[in-house]
Chain A
């Protein structure tokens, strides 16, 4: 296996104000599958093209925002190795027992200098409804709504972006694929553990622990257009797009869930390999970097977070 250590963004747990509305949004409109409504109230969802049991965990609460994001590592021994490296880096590591979430093995967790909680895990049960492996059809049941294949990445807002970047590259062996660099250091970083353009990204912001968006991958630019039709048809709160990012080159549309958490559905972007150099943007070109066609940022995209 050439890809070792951290494999990918595995799942994210975030908060919603009203669960029924959230399920309608994520299942009927985005097209995720409902895996389980657990006794403690959390709701588990997965994409039809994901092998693992779940990738989105919703929790009803007083305020929206993110609880934590978890990355899958290749094997259980990696958890011990990363625990040592994370501790050596200077972050405190705690343990989460197996089955705290159904079907998930033991996890280790820590809080980044940006205020976000991150976890690592090695084992998750397989999805009952995942991709077929023998003479595979393209899907089991017709995809619904926006036809999201699965969870792709998160973008977080918080302080100490340079330190967060150093942590991911030095302690977790991530690569920095793109960044926005000022004379005082990076103010935005895109980080990957795989050949995707990013598994997670961070943008500098004074308030810690903020959730900018959770992103779902679609098959094509036509699907992004279809997602835009669904946004209009069902009065989903649109933010920006359809458009394209200069950074990562993804084709995208942004909107909000019924609790105000931002969502992205996107397709495209280049393939990254670890020998590739980092692509660097200067702040004066940031408009084009974020929205390649409009070439200007809007205040809502910059400032609105949960």
Chain B
């Protein structure tokens, strides 16, 4: 059986589960939730941009126009390309790159 992690959105305190290997935004949407805004679901548009404030994760390739190298080193990610490796807490950061 695959592992299941809990994702917490700091602003609302909302929590949802995310299976091992599943992308955060897709897991959220499948549970009928809308705490993180949904755009292209492909790492291109930046609508789902978040900052991870706690936990381990990996990402698939994300648009550099939305998440710069420095952003990436400081925890910014696109939720549609974000795969938890532990429980995660995150904040919404849909305010464009380079923040």
Tell me the A residues contacting B by CB distance below 8 Å: 17-18, 62-65, 237, 256-262, 300, 303-306
Contacts and interface: CB of A to CB of B under 8 A. Distances in A.
Contacts of A17: 42-44, 61-63
Interface in B64-93: 64-66
Contact of B41 (A63, A237, A305, A306): A237
Nearest to A299: B37
A300 B44 contact: no
B61 A18 contact: yes
A62 B62 CA distance: 8
B61 A306 contact: no
Which secondary structure dominates where chain A touches chain B?
loop
A65 B43 CA distance: 12
Interface residues of B, number: 15
28 contacts: A17-B42, A17-B43, A17-B44, A62-B63, A62-B65, A63-B63, A63-B64, A63-B65, A63-B66, A64-B42, A65-B65, A237-B41, A237-B42, A256-B41, A256-B42, A259-B43, A260-B39, A260-B41, A260-B43, A260-B45, A260-B63, A261-B42, A261-B44, A300-B38, A303-B47, A304-B40, A304-B47, A306-B63
A64 B44 contact: yes
Contacts of A258: 42
Contacts of A65: 44, 65
A257 B42 contact: yes
Given A63-B63, A259-B43, A300-B39, 6 more contacts: A237-B41, A256-B44, A260-B41, A260-B45, A261-B42, A305-B45
Interface string B22-53: 00000000000000001111111101000000
Nearest to B47: A304
Nearest to A21: B42
Closest 3 CB pairs between A and B?
Answer: A260-B44, A260-B40, A260-B42
A32 B19 CA distance: 34
Contacts of B38: 300
Interface of B: 38-45, 47, 61-66
A17 to B, nearest CB: 5
A183 to B, nearest CB: 30
B39 A64 contact: no
Contacts of B65: 62-63, 65
A3 B56 CA distance: 60
Nearest to A62: B64
Nearest to B96: A207
A304 B45 contact: yes
B34 to A, nearest CB: 11
A69 B8 CA distance: 42
Nearest to A64: B44
B46 to A, nearest CB: 9
Contacts of B42: 17, 64, 237, 256-261
B94 to A, nearest CB: 10
